[in-house]
Chains A and B, each alone.
Chain A
Amino acid sequence: MKNTWKKRLIAIAAALLLGLLAYFAADIPFYPYQEPLERASLQSVSDGEPLAFTYSSDAITLHGADHVTVYGLTLSGMAVIPNGQAASFPADSLGTLAAVKEPYTADTNGDGILETVTDAAKTDMEFTQEYTEGGNTFLDSRLPFEATIQHRSGFSFTLYSVKLSNAEITAVLSDGREIALQTDENGFSALSLNDLRDGVTFWYRPDNQTTYRLAYQVEDNTVFSLRWLEAMLPFTLIVLISLVCIILDVLLRKRLYQKNGMPSGQVAVLHREKLHFRFRLGFEMVRWIVMIVSFVLLIWGGRLLENGLSNIQLPVLACPYNLDQGASAGCYWFSHIDALLESGLDEILWFLGSFAVCALLFGRLLCGFVCPLGFVQDVMHQLRQSLHTEGVSFSEKLYDGLRFIKWVMLLIFLGVGLIGGSFCDFCPAITLSPALAGFKTSIYFSGFMMVAMLVSGFFKRRCFCNICPMGYLLGLPHKVSMVKLKKDAVACTECGACYEACPMGIKSIFTVREGKNERAIDVTTADCILCGECIRRCPEDGALYMTFAGKKIYTASRMKFMRDQADGKEAQI
Chain B
Amino acid sequence: MSEKALSISPAQTRQRERFDRKSVAIAEKMLRRVNELTHRPEALTPFLEILRRVFVDREDASRPHGTPTVGTYCVMVPPEIIYAQGAMPVKLCGGSYTAFSIGDDTAPRDACPLVKAVMGFEEIDAMPVYQNCSLMAVPVTCDCKKKLAGYLSQRRPTAILHVPANRDRDEDMERFVEELYAFSGQLANITSKELSYENLSAAYRMMADAQYQLSRFIDLRRKNPLLIRGTFAMAVMNAMSYTYAPDWTKQLAALNDELEALARKKEMAVRENQPRILLTGSPVIFPNFKLPLLIEEMGGLLAADETCMGERGLYDPPAVADHTLDGMMRALSNRATRPCTCPTFADNKRRVYRIRQLIQDYKIQGVVYHVLRGCLVYDYEYAVLEEEMGKIGVPIIRVETDYNEEDVEQLRIRTEAFLELIKYGGGQAK
Contact = CB atoms under 8 A, between A and B. Distances in A.
B350 A494 contact: yes
B15 interface: no
Interface stretch (B265-273, B295-303, B327-335): B327-335
B327 to A, nearest CB: 7
A566 B209 CA distance: 5
A125 interface: no
A393 B173 CA distance: 13
Interface string B152-190: 000000000000000011110110000001001100000
Given A396-B170, A495-B319, A497-B334, A562 B325 contact: no
B196 A263 contact: yes
Contacts of B184: 263
A263 B326 CA distance: 9
A500 B219 contact: no
Interface string B216-233: 100100000000000000
B191 interface: no
Nearest to B337: A496
B356 interface: yes
Interface string A312-332: 000000000000000000000
Interface in A243-284: 261-266, 268
Contacts of A538: 319
Contacts of A500: 319, 321-322, 330-331, 334
Nearest to A537: B319
Contacts of A388: 197, 323-325
A391 interface: yes
Nearest to A540: B357
A559 B317 CA distance: 12
Given A393-B322, A559-B215, A263 B334 contact: no
B362 interface: no
Given A491-B357, A497-B334, A539-B317, A566 B205 contact: yes
Contact of A385 (B173, B322, B330, B357): B322
A533 interface: yes
B168 A266 contact: no
Interface string B71-107: 0000000000000000000000000000000000000
Interface string A370-402: 000000000000001100111101011000000
B14 to A, nearest CB: 49
Contacts of B151: none
B322 A391 contact: yes
A263 B353 contact: no
A265 B215 contact: no
Contact of B357 (A390, A490, A539, A561): A490
A108 B40 CA distance: 99
Contact of B208 (A495, A537, A559, A562): A562
A263 B324 CA distance: 12
A569 interface: yes
A496 B338 contact: yes
A513 B353 contact: yes
B65 to A, nearest CB: 26
B46 interface: no
A394 B105 CA distance: 50
Contacts of A166: none
A5 B216 CA distance: 56
Interface string A513-530: 100000000000000000
Contact of B212 (A264, A266, A496, A562): A562
Given A513-B353, A558-B219, A566 B211 contact: yes
Given A263-B181, A396-B169, A558-B215, A497 B319 contact: yes
A225 interface: no
Contact of A490 (B168, B212, B334, B356): B356
Given A263-B196, A539-B316, A493 B350 contact: yes
Contacts of B194: 263
A533 B321 contact: yes
A497 B212 contact: no
Given A539-B316, A562-B317, A265 B325 contact: yes
Contacts of A501: 319, 321
Interface in A404-435: none
A489 B181 contact: no
Interface string B404-419: 0000000000000000
A492 interface: yes
A547 interface: no
B354 interface: yes
User: Most chain-B Cβ atoms within 10 A of its Cβ — which of A268, A494, A511?
Assistant: A494
B389 interface: no
A272 to B, nearest CB: 11
A167 B319 CA distance: 69
Contacts of A395: 170-171, 174
A383 to B, nearest CB: 12
Contacts of A537: 319, 321
A496 B357 contact: no
Q: Say which size band chain A's interface belongs to.
A: 35 or more
B201 interface: yes
A429 to B, nearest CB: 27
Contacts of B174: 395
A561 B216 CA distance: 12
Nearest to A394: B170
B219 A265 contact: no
B195 interface: yes
Nearest to B184: A263
Contact of B321 (A492, A497, A539, A566): A497
Nearest to B341: A493
Contacts of B41: none
A563 B316 CA distance: 14
A266 B338 CA distance: 27
A295 to B, nearest CB: 24
B427 interface: no
Interface in A122-147: none
B324 A393 contact: no
Contacts of B216: 559
User: Most chain-A Cβ atoms within 10 A of its Cβ — which of B205, B212, B349?
Assistant: B212
A559 B212 CA distance: 8
A563 B323 contact: no
Contacts of B205: 565-566, 568-569
B319 A566 contact: no
Contacts of B208: 562, 565-566
B360 A490 contact: yes
Given A493-B339, A562-B208, A566-B208, A390 B334 contact: no
A390 to B, nearest CB: 5
B325 A390 contact: yes
A83 interface: no
Nearest to B174: A395
A205 B323 CA distance: 70
Contact of B197 (A266, A558, A565): A266
B323 A495 contact: no
Contacts of B197: 265-266, 268, 388
A489 B325 CA distance: 31
A565 B317 contact: yes
Contacts of A492: 353
A572 interface: yes
Contact of A511 (B168, B317, B356): B168
19 contacts: A263-B194, A388-B323, A390-B326, A395-B171, A396-B169, A491-B357, A492-B353, A493-B339, A495-B334, A500-B322, A500-B331, A511-B168, A562-B211, A562-B215, A563-B212, A565-B204, A565-B208, A566-B205, A566-B208
Give 8 nearest A-B pairs by CB, closest first.
A497-B319, A495-B339, A565-B208, A566-B212, A501-B321, A493-B339, A496-B338, A562-B212
Given A491-B357, A539-B319, 5 more contacts: A489-B353, A494-B350, A500-B319, A562-B317, A565-B204
